Structure 1
Amino acid sequence: MIEGLYETHIQVSNLENAVRFYTEVLGLEFAHYDETRPIAFLWIGENKKAMLGLWEQSGSIHKRHFAFSCSKDFILKDANIFLEKNELQSYNFLKNGSNEPMVFAWMPAIALYFDDPDGNQLEFIHILEGKGKPELGVLSYEEWIKINSTHQNEL
């Protein structure tokens, strides 16, 4: 029945600035602006496979969180460089001052976080191969690799 998540919507304080951020910085493709209400739609990834709606809201906005699927190599090698180049601060799930990606062992997945100009929490995420290990919690990618290579040597 359900095959995936098609779209999500967030509130932004300035629609023009938000569209510029998501298209020029993050590379999403502009899809449509609804002139009857302050909303813009953007394509995420391959055209018409997923969509982001940006709703301009006056006053305070409700901040949201969502994640973009990315390659493991991008997250490990290029994400921090990309974010710094675009004057965005990256952080890990623990918000402990480190900007190194972390692994959610229960999935398993590697992720890195940053905020959009309105404070919405965005995430780059990649699902890793293998079985989840919920007992490990959240750990560094290096720890994840070490634990998995140790277990493979035991087989």
Structure 2
Amino acid sequence: MIKGLYETHIQVSDLENATNFYTKVLGLKFAHKDENRRIAFLWVGKDKEFMLGLWEQKEDLQTRHFAFTADKEDILNYSAEFLKNKDLTPYNFLKNGNEKPMVFAWMPALAIYFNDPDGNQLELISILEGDGKPELGVLSYEEWLEKAS
């Protein structure tokens, strides 16, 4: 019955600023804005494939986390540069000052993080081939290549 996740919604402090960030900085496509409810809808990927809703919340903003699918090679080779060129700070799951992507061995998946202007935690993630190895925890991609084979 369930085939995937179609949409997610987050709170933002300034709808126009957030809409500009997600469309101009990250490249999502504007879909619709409802001024009465102060919400904007954006397409992620192809039109009507996945939607992100931005809800303006002036008080008691609750930040959230979600991940964008990305290609493994893009995450490995370009994610830090891509994010820095957009004045965003990439960080890994451990938040240890290293901006290199890490592997969640249980999936396995490669991921790198960054925040939007409101502090929502965003992630670029790519599912890796092969079986998960939960006993390896979270490790660098290089360590994953050594230990997973």
The TM-score, its normalising length taken from structure 2, stands at 0.98
Mapped pair 1:137 → 2:137: yes
Cα deviation code 1:49-90 (max 9, x no counterpart):
100000001123000000000000110011100110011001
Residue 73 of structure 2 aligns to a residue in which SS? helix
Ranges in structure 2 where 5+ consecutive residues have no aligned partner: none
Once residues 127 and 106 of structure 1 are traced to their aligned partners in structure 2, the CA distance between those partners, rounded to angstroms, is: 11
The one-letter amino acid paired with 2:47 is: N
Cα deviation code 1:26-56 (max 9, x no counterpart):
0000000012210000000011010000000
Residue 59 of structure 2 aligns to a residue in which SS? coil
The one-letter amino acid paired with 1:45 is: G
Equivalent positions of 1:5-44 (< 5 A) are 5-44=5-44
Once residues 120 and 131 of structure 1 are traced to their aligned partners in structure 2, the CA distance between those partners, rounded to angstroms, is: 30
Equivalent positions of 1:140-155 (< 5 A) are 140-148=140-148, 151=149
Offset at 1:146? 1.2
Runs of 4+ aligned structure 1 residues displaced above 2 Å come to: none
Figure out how many residues of one structure are paired with residues of the other and give that number: 149
The one-letter amino acid paired with 2:31 is: A
Equivalent positions of 1:36-115 (< 5 A) are 36-115=36-115
Cα deviation code 1:2-28 (max 9, x no counterpart):
000000000000000000000001000
The TM-score, its normalising length taken from structure 1, stands at 0.95
Which residue pairs with 1:128 in the alignment? Answer: 128
Once residues 60 and 120 of structure 1 are traced to their aligned partners in structure 2, the CA distance between those partners, rounded to angstroms, is: 14
The one-letter amino acid paired with 1:147 is: K
Residue 23 of structure 1 aligns to a residue in which SS? helix
Once residues 34 and 16 of structure 1 are traced to their aligned partners in structure 2, the CA distance between those partners, rounded to angstroms, is: 12
Once residues 74 and 26 of structure 1 are traced to their aligned partners in structure 2, the CA distance between those partners, rounded to angstroms, is: 14
The one-letter amino acid paired with 2:71 is: S
Residue 60 of structure 2 aligns to a residue in which SS? coil
Residue 119 of structure 2 aligns to a residue in which SS? coil
Once residues 35 and 26 of structure 1 are traced to their aligned partners in structure 2, the CA distance between those partners, rounded to angstroms, is: 23
Residue 10 of structure 2 aligns to a residue in which SS? strand
